[in-house]
Structure 1
Amino acid sequence: MNMLLTNGFSILKMPRDFRPMTDDEFFYYCQENPDHKFERDADGTIIVMGQTGGETGKRNSELNADLTIWNRSTRLGFVFDSSTGFVLPNGAVRSPDVAWVLADYWNVLSADERRKFPPLCPDFVVELMSESDSRRLAEDKMREYLDNGCRLGWLIDPKTETARVYRPDGSVQVVQGFDNILSGEEVLPGFQFNLALLR
């Protein structure tokens, strides 16, 4: 395997005759390499993700904390942090910075499916852009989530204080300024997040 570095992360390029890993093989590959974080494209290409800096980690914690507090009061689903990989219907494995899954979808998974990378697309995802992230690639990832069943997605760029709200109908709402509050809409009823917490 060859490794290429692009846009702050590495892409493992496979030889032409290389057989893509199965979901189980990829899961165990990730477990055997705990010092790295990986994602996998739908075509089997493995991406080595960079570690986040302190500011990004702090912002991720704010998002996860507020969503977890809301979820504890509603008990409608389950919250996952950025270390969780999900096998999307198209075969890609993604690890959103924040993810939420409706209880009805999580509860039908087997114990083995829950223990490994859950084979489902979260109902709600947040991607929080870091300094090295490409906006084009981040937007492609958001569209992939929606194409695979996500019902609401937020792409947040602290550098420009911009949030983009993605919905299944293909619409993208641009929210400019961290003096705004984002709504969980009908997917997360009653949930609101104050973007000022990310400053």
Structure 2
Amino acid sequence: MLPSFGSSLNNEDVPSEPPPDFISGEVSTRFCTHLFAWVEPRQLGYVLSSHVGYQLPNGEILQPHCSFVSRQRLKRMPRTYPEVPPDLIMEIKSAFDRLLSMQKKVQSFLKWGTRIGILIDPDQHTVSVYRPDGAVTILEEGETLMLPELLPDWELPVSELWTPSLN
């Protein structure tokens, strides 16, 4: 039996929604690169791109834009989809996305065991941090993203996510 795919893929392995726009792709790269540069030397786990799906307990496969799974939770690298939820997922609202559908995707991961969900909105220059208890923290320019319960000492100034103007 083939797994059912969430909003990111249909049964023909063709994207059911358009790929992210240019700015969203740039923001995603900045976030993932910053996270990878901190996690990798400390050998804390795996930072993965949007090309990795996670199999949820209900059989659905979801793909976050970026994710982190600690080595403690993922003892062996699977050849197929990890059956443990990532510790951290990051989603970006592209020009084609509705904010509500992105919030639901983040909450779906939290429901299945993800510890922290991040939703970045390039239009508003905000970073929303979701936790399983329902708490949402919204960070803006001048603030710093910190996740002490998951990645102690890691920090990302929100302003570093936005590409400087080329004008």
TM-score by length of 2: 0.85
Q: Normalized per residue, which structure has more helix?
A: 1
Counterpart in the other structure of 2:20 = 52
Deviations 1:125-151 (A, max 9, x none): 110110111111111111111110011
Look up the equivalent residue of 2:145 and give its one-letter code: L
Which stretch shows the higher mean deviation, 49-58 or 80-89?
49-58
DSSP-derived class of the 2:33 partner: helix
In the alignment, the residues of structure 1 paired with residue 35 and residue 150 of structure 2 have an alpha-carbon distance, to the nearest angstrom, of: 12
In the alignment, the residues of structure 1 paired with residue 76 and residue 43 of structure 2 have an alpha-carbon distance, to the nearest angstrom, of: 16
Structure with greater Cα Rg: 1
Counterpart in the other structure of 1:183 = 146
DSSP-derived class of the 1:78 partner: strand
Look up the equivalent residue of 2:151 and give its one-letter code: L
Q: CA RMSD in A?
A: 2.0
Q: Which has the higher contact order (CA 8 A, sep 6+)?
A: 2
Look up the equivalent residue of 1:183 and give its one-letter code: M
Deviation at 1:33, TM superposition (A): 5.8
DSSP-derived class of the 2:47 partner: strand
Residue 120 (structure 1) aligned with residue 84 (structure 2): yes
Look up the equivalent residue of 1:135 and give its one-letter code: L
In the alignment, the residues of structure 2 paired with residue 92 and residue 193 of structure 1 have an alpha-carbon distance, to the nearest angstrom, of: 31
Count, aligned residues: 158
Gaps of 5+ in 2: 163-167
Deviations 1:66-103 (A, max 9, x none): 11111112211111001111111232211111100011
DSSP-derived class of the 1:105 partner: coil
Gaps of 5+ in 1: 1-20, 38-47
Give every structure 1 segment of 4 or more consecutive aligned residues whose post-TM-superposition deviation is greater than 2 Å.
none
Counterpart in the other structure of 1:91 = 59
